[in-house]
Structure 1
């Protein structure tokens, strides 16, 4: 059971101005730098005697400026298109150097082609005009969003949204039983994880810089396995814990983390492959730290030992880290950032990435008695409210740390829904309010969930294909289930189950037309429950789960564990066969040494624990089987 805090309206913050304070400083600085450059170009355009120098200068104040001055408007459009492509590359790979290099190169190109600069005045006017128009558009949209926010706040004042308090761990946490279908879907992740650590068969291999990267697949894989253990089989380690360890250790394979050396070079102009220490690399430290926090909560603390995480760059250079150094890096970077949130890619601050960072800190504080999250959480909450929430309550997905700018297409419902799920553990009020807003765009008809229309509705970020809105349904299932809105979660899951073609390979099932990332997140949603993420990250497990008997070993895939729970004294199991009828052994641990236990559902009726508290129980498994050791 979960207690509740005092009910109070979760209102959208009313902004003090058109921009948050830090964003205001960044934009003011950016406009100031541009103004200085524009004045220098004005002097050069008036004083230089050669058309080449004048065209080169004009090409620096906006892409294609030199060609416009020459009257070559088609070439100016080509240059502008090239620059936009450079911006995309900058955003996609974090390559900060690309836009200035493109601007300089096209300015030189314009200088080489300069002839009869008859449109200098027009060229000089374009940049300031676009800045003024951009600001006016933003102000108009901001005023409209303020009006929408005021109307929404009137509804929120009586909406009755309540943030739940801490669960009563002494009374236990809910544990459900997995269906045969649940276990068939879980096997997709298990098979990926249980292959040798240095093998990645079955993973998507496209790039290592964006959402299809190996690291994000490993993160999602580990999260889903942890959630399945937490909500279905907390008293089972065995191959499920081994799979989580493999996912953690696969992250140490160089191909999964070497991207940082490149991004650090072309994004921060610094060659240093070190992936953790003093680096704005929350896409590794935050995402990876949460993997370890979940694992340690459910299993053991091996990754908190000094040097337990060895990032081996080459034969001479290894970066030794641990769960503690990941958390320390996140804490240090959040304190050093004016936004508190800090970049995921060089320069680009993503709201969703920073939820993984704060979740890592919350987990580490709970497990190791630090106060990292306690210190930064109020600042982080304020930063989200002031800098990353629009006046109409919509979350902004990304902001440029240096320039302060953002754009709306990266604030799609899917991005917001994903962020809503991951922020529920550490920022529950913001999560609950955002879900209330998002739910207004959802519709259930005949049991099927229909998502709102938006530009990237059909994007699968795990393979960059625009095929179907499957990923949107996946993250909606995750968020709705976590926030306790089971009607919408069930509708999303039903839509996926009824609509998506399934690939079945020997009892291992996955959505055939979706990426590995989408399938792994679907597993996370399938095994979630109300407050599942929040309980796992913020509150942990009951004492009975940490001390009572556990199923430590069984054969995979012969034995599929549908349920495993202990009350501190007895162990209750529900098992299904994964490869046909079989007689097999179960290893039970954390028993009282020398004690004889009664067993039901097994081939023998008693089992005696050895001197280490371990016993072997033999079962005949041909269909669903309940086993109790007590």
Structure 2
């Protein structure tokens, strides 16, 4: 690490400029920002934390080793210098093992508090545990501890200096690695274009997989039958199942049935209503209280892109007009897509990191990619230009704050401390973000996918793919395979996608029940991502986030589900090509069409009902009795 970089780091850590204050955003265009350009925000936060800890340890150890305080006070100061170390003060004679056990238990309790901080955003947990253990260590009568015979050794006081030394060495080594890291080589292959531009039919098997999501989406909005309830905070939360079901249905409609508003539109509206259900966002009152020390329970206002950002993409892709937050059977607050998008954009403009917290004080690059894809997709729907103004600083922040020196994504970073703990997850932590990154920066996505492909070509797949389904915490690689396959299809890597789906089938075989295909012990989240992989195409999400509006012309406006399942609906000239699968035996569903030429006859291509006549508003009705896959072609009679 160069002396100039070290001096700059110390200046930033001491002054707080550029990163310490949350009210001083980085502006990538101002000359003043160049003064701090040699150190990322997270590095300055790390320096600040180390500096504060050094001051705390020096003061505590200085007083504790002075010999001017009581044994109880020395134990408390030792506990302040290092979590749980106060119990080591009582190591002496016959109570040595007991005191060491207390230290081990105390340090484990502090570790649990750190996990609670990560898992629920509870910033109070580690602070309370640290301080509480120090106070408890200063209460020997409560623990039935006698004063140490030798007055307490000096060796426990070495813990804090050793930790500080190791942390400082690691901090400096990270700076050296970052400064010496070379820019990744751009892969020689180009981003592929769409494989097929004309939507094809949904296969019989995929039609049955689609029914799994439609069954859950189209049930009464207040019910969540078939959803998985594990916890409201982490990856198995109900809201993520709703979000990704909506994404999957958007891909299915775009790829196979762009001219069908029936069932797809109803399902998207149901899912948008479900995401506004209090049961899906009431967690935020707790997280906001113990993470931000705020009592506001509104999940849209700030620092909660795991709800607001994900829902923005759901609204933009699914065609939702407004998000209504419901509580106790009444509408509490309402937000339009433009409002949600503007709130998110405003937060990005004032963020010191250039990235937003997914939950209180934790930054996830993946969450930010999903959020920015939502802002870009909202621009396409609304005709706004927020992404254009945010693109350059966001992508620069993503590289600087969301990636390691070797160009790989971090899983998450503490925005308070700047540290990014190592996290499990395997190759999917690098592969899955490419699905959304490709919509924002195809060049960066190709570079990242190139790294992923190199690891897959050289390593063991069973070791690279994490054997935990993050959608329900079950022991399977289902979510890892499905998420990687979804990203591979977006990147045009059909070889990796096919292999992931093959392994998914081998390890989690499909089962069919009453015309619906599912995988036992596989999360709904993984099922949704599998449908994304099967219904998407190369650059599919990139196209969805730039599509301006739906073309005019004939469309299927209503088709009762589950009587029929739409496998294909495509406009052709002034006509419509439609493919339907029967959903229930002996059903005779009534189809409704819109966008037809007023008061015109249309050929249907069906022998039992050869013609359909539209009314004065361009609407038409057709009753069918599909016993098998049925094809309908509407062509106006000249």
TM-score by length of 2: 0.87
Q: Is the 8 A contact 2:596 2:619 kept in 1?
A: yes
Aligned counterparts of 1:459 and 1:601: Cα–Cα separation in 2: 49
Structure 1: unaligned runs, 5 residues or longer: 1-15, 297-301
1:58 to 1:507, Cα distance in 2 relative to 1, 3 A: same
Aligned counterparts of 1:256 and 1:19: Cα–Cα separation in 2: 42
Match of 2:388 in 1: 374
Q: Is the 8 A contact 2:87 2:103 kept in 1?
A: yes
Aligned counterparts of 2:444 and 2:81: Cα–Cα separation in 1: 40
Tell me if 1:201 matches 2:225. Answer: yes
Tell me if 1:33 matches 2:47. Answer: no
Tell me if 1:290 matches 2:336. Answer: no
Deviations 1:51-74 (A, max 9, x none): 112211221121122112332333
Match of 1:451 among 448, 461, 466: 461
Aligned counterparts of 2:283 and 2:38: Cα–Cα separation in 1: 33
Residues 53-72 of structure 1 correspond to what in structure 2 (within 5 A)? 53-71=73-91, 72=99
* Structure 2 residue matching 1:52: 3-state secondary structure: helix
Tell me if 1:425 matches 2:439. Answer: yes
Match of 1:508 among 512, 516, 531: 516
How far 1:143 moved relative to its partner? 5.8
Tell me if 1:391 matches 2:405. Answer: yes
How far 1:86 moved relative to its partner? 0.6
Tell me if 1:461 matches 2:470. Answer: yes
Tell me if 1:324 matches 2:352. Answer: no
Match of 2:619 in 1: 614
Tell me if 1:183 matches 2:197. Answer: no
Aligned counterparts of 1:599 and 1:517: Cα–Cα separation in 2: 38
Q: Is the 8 A contact 1:602 1:627 kept in 2?
A: no
* Structure 2 residue matching 1:133: 3-state secondary structure: helix
Aligned counterparts of 2:178 and 2:317: Cα–Cα separation in 1: 38
How far 1:341 moved relative to its partner? 0.9
Aligned counterparts of 1:118 and 1:528: Cα–Cα separation in 2: 70
Match of 2:604 in 1: 599
How far 1:441 moved relative to its partner? 2.1
Once the two structures are overlaid, the 10-residue window that deviates more, 314-323 or 196-205, is 314-323
Aligned counterparts of 2:581 and 2:75: Cα–Cα separation in 1: 75
Residues 70-219 of structure 1 correspond to what in structure 2 (within 5 A)? 70-71=90-91, 72-113=99-140, 115-116=147-148, 118-119=151-152, 121-137=154-170, 139-140=172-173, 150=182, 153=184, 156-157=185-186, 159-163=187-191, 173-219=197-243
Aligned counterparts of 2:177 and 2:51: Cα–Cα separation in 1: 27
Aligned counterparts of 2:588 and 2:444: Cα–Cα separation in 1: 51
Match of 2:7 in 1: none
* Structure 1 residue matching 2:371: 3-state secondary structure: helix
Deviations 1:317-373 (A, max 9, x none): 822211122112211221221111111111110011111110111012222232221
Aligned counterparts of 1:319 and 1:121: Cα–Cα separation in 2: 59
Aligned counterparts of 2:623 and 2:507: Cα–Cα separation in 1: 41
1:20 to 1:601, Cα distance in 2 relative to 1, 3 A: farther
How far 1:177 moved relative to its partner? 1.1
Deviations 1:506-531 (A, max 9, x none): 01111112112111221121211111
Structure 2: unaligned runs, 5 residues or longer: 1-34, 92-98
How far 1:494 moved relative to its partner? 2.2
Match of 2:359 in 1: 345
Which is greater in Rg? 2
1:520 to 1:118, Cα distance in 2 relative to 1, 3 A: farther
Residues 407-418 of structure 1 correspond to what in structure 2 (within 5 A)? 407-410=421-424, 412-418=426-432
Tell me if 1:626 matches 2:631. Answer: yes
Q: Is the 8 A contact 1:142 1:391 kept in 2?
A: no
Match of 2:72 among 52, 65, 68: 52
Q: How large is the Cα RMSD of the aligned pairs?
A: 2.6
Match of 1:12 in 2: none
Deviations 1:465-515 (A, max 9, x none): 2x2222211111101111001111112122223442333220111111211
Q: Is the 8 A contact 2:431 2:449 kept in 1?
A: yes
Once the two structures are overlaid, the 10-residue window that deviates more, 600-609 or 89-98, is 600-609
Once the two structures are overlaid, the 10-residue window that deviates more, 254-263 or 507-516, is 507-516
* Structure 2 residue matching 1:236: 3-state secondary structure: coil
* Structure 1 residue matching 2:632: 3-state secondary structure: strand
Q: Is the 8 A contact 1:286 1:330 kept in 2?
A: yes
Match of 1:525 among 533, 545, 549: 533
Match of 1:232 in 2: 256
Once the two structures are overlaid, the 10-residue window that deviates more, 191-200 or 118-127, is 118-127
Match of 1:557 among 533, 550, 562: 562
Deviations 1:253-284 (A, max 9, x none): 1001101101000111111111212x101011
Match of 2:15 in 1: none
1:459 to 1:162, Cα distance in 2 relative to 1, 3 A: same
How far 1:21 moved relative to its partner? 1.6
- The total of aligned residue pairs comes to 587
Deviations 1:192-229 (A, max 9, x none): 11111010111111111111111001001111111100
Aligned counterparts of 2:548 and 2:279: Cα–Cα separation in 1: 32
Match of 1:4 in 2: none
1:313 to 1:558, Cα distance in 2 relative to 1, 3 A: closer
Aligned counterparts of 1:362 and 1:476: Cα–Cα separation in 2: 23
